[in-house]
Structure 1
Amino acid sequence: MTELVGLPIANLSVYDGSTAAAEAITCAVRVHARKAEQKNTVYISELIPPDRLSVIQNYTQGSELIIKSMKHDENGHIPLEEWEKASGSCAVYVEQPNPLGIMDQSLFSAKEILGNHTAFIVGIQPVSLGVFEPPGNYGADIVVGEGQPLGSPVTYGGPIYGIFACTQPYLRQMPGRIVGRTIDVDGKEAYCLTLSTREQHIRRHRATSNLCTNETLIAMMGAMHMALLGPEGIETLGLRNLASRQLLQEGISKLSDVELPYGDSQHFNEFVIELPYPAQECLDYLEKFGIIGGLNLSRWYPGWDHRLLISTSDQTSKSDIKILLNHLSKWLTSKSGVVA
């Protein structure tokens, strides 16, 4: 995992991606609270899904933490002035790709603007790192994410685990368990839990986190999955996701009356489409044919009733794409033929 994200330290996992994001923020505040110009303040992308934001708010509600949002431009990127505004805070949490599937180019210069006293926290889709640069290479201090795409079955979303990796300054404040390599009494190489005084082995109020269990079994599945794939296999997996998305996006771009609001931005395996009719009507139609057509974005963002977030993966075949495009085209034709 450390090689994948480009950071030197990773723990044995946390509950899930949202928990990892919340733990990263509280970890960063403990490290930077004294020297931060904006005391007890963190900045979070305005696009963060409501369920993830809810977990973060629940984690921080008793700590008097101030959460401020960062706006995005028409291309789905965070403008320079938003990064400058966040400089001097305890932490910034953003995702790459962002919740709209866009690879935000502003992240590559963000750390230079934020400086050393603001933690740069990046949430990832781990498979994307097979083709895109790891956050550690462009200055991320903490990397978190959902590990489900690595090694977990797809049924009902699969069992999940949270990814948490960081740089040395955050080591003693990070949550969860850390395994270190040592020598046993017989002089043989051995592995053990290290820096356990950060956890519940000491007085509860002094522990860095009340995270007392983890998802080690599922994380082990992920580690084995990555080991079996190897660097080339992970790259191939990422390219498969990328190619499926590109094929579907090109097909949808040819449909009349369907727009791609962020079509000029770079994506991984998700993208947004805007329909001429309510998105929920489209989803209801596709469901009749056993197709899950995407996410109705009005569930996340009020007023986005005509927008869908569509995703592909390594499980998406050319046949799947053809079937979706065919039924989507039929739905559009049937709607345009209705007399108001």
Structure 2
Amino acid sequence: MNRLLPVPDTSHANSARREVESVARSCGFSEPDIGRAALVALELATNVARHGGGGHLLVREVAAGDCKGLEITSIDSGPGMADVAHSLTDGVSTYGSAGAGLGAIRRQADEFDIHSQTGPAPGRGTAIFVRLWPGRRAPSETLALVGSVSVPKPDELVCGDGVAVVRAGSVVSLLVVDGLGHGVAAQQAAIAACDLFQKSLVGSTITAAQKIHAGLRATRGAAIGIANVDLAAASITFCGIGNIAGLTAAGGQVRRFVSMNGIAGHTAGQIREFVYPCDGPGLVVVLHSDGIGTNWSLDRYPGLAARHPALIAAVLYRDGTRGRDDATVLVLRRAP
């Protein structure tokens, strides 16, 4: 789950910094690494307030094996940057134009990416992705990058959505789950589904869906979407129960996934899986809960599909959240 930190103006920048410091400590960061996290958070929050007209920081723990890292992504719907490369140059910090602190942020980050778009909304604005790892030891991934955003319904302290990722050779298996309703009971259903997925996933998405369906009977139930992405075979197998939406885009072709009606754990009719080709360059896979509207297209965001999946997820969340439910986006992109 992401912490969503509002930054409507510069007076909120220090509050965001303190929240990020707290998360960095919970990750077990050393004091120098906590200092890096604080600097990044302050610079991102200040940029959002001054140049984005206000926005948010999305903050969460990430893990690679036994190592915990920290992810901070800023999102705004401001005027955007006409020349991102120039804005990243040290010394570019004119008030009223983007760029303040971007060079410092990139230097402190262990993983960094940015997407900025000018012109009319929707799509306009800037998103900046940063990951920090203890001792600056960032893990590497050669097959596929995965990122997500998961935010609770406004005024809720817990999120009823969940995501899980399992890697086995050339296959990356993805799960997005949306516990029925919201709050603690929905969170319990989502946690149970993720636990079942990680412990009992097999090659068949149908079998995985059946196991989750049977295992959620004691909960209020959930919508689930499971995608097995076989990078070697260039194919995706998808099985969904309920309103988890998804698509794959590769080689200029976009294919939207078919999900069956029902509620995992309660009423599921025929459980079916569908196979989609995903050959061609630029593979991106997106799954999301119904807290995100379906009226979006990657074509609306030139260049976004080539960015880090966490950045793609953040932009789709920024422009697609309905604001009245838990909202989750999970994205996979083939590694460059």
TM-score range, shorter chain: under 0.3
Larger Rg computed on CA atoms: 1
RCO higher in 1 or 2 (8 Å CA, sep ≥ 6)? 1
**More strand per residue:** 2
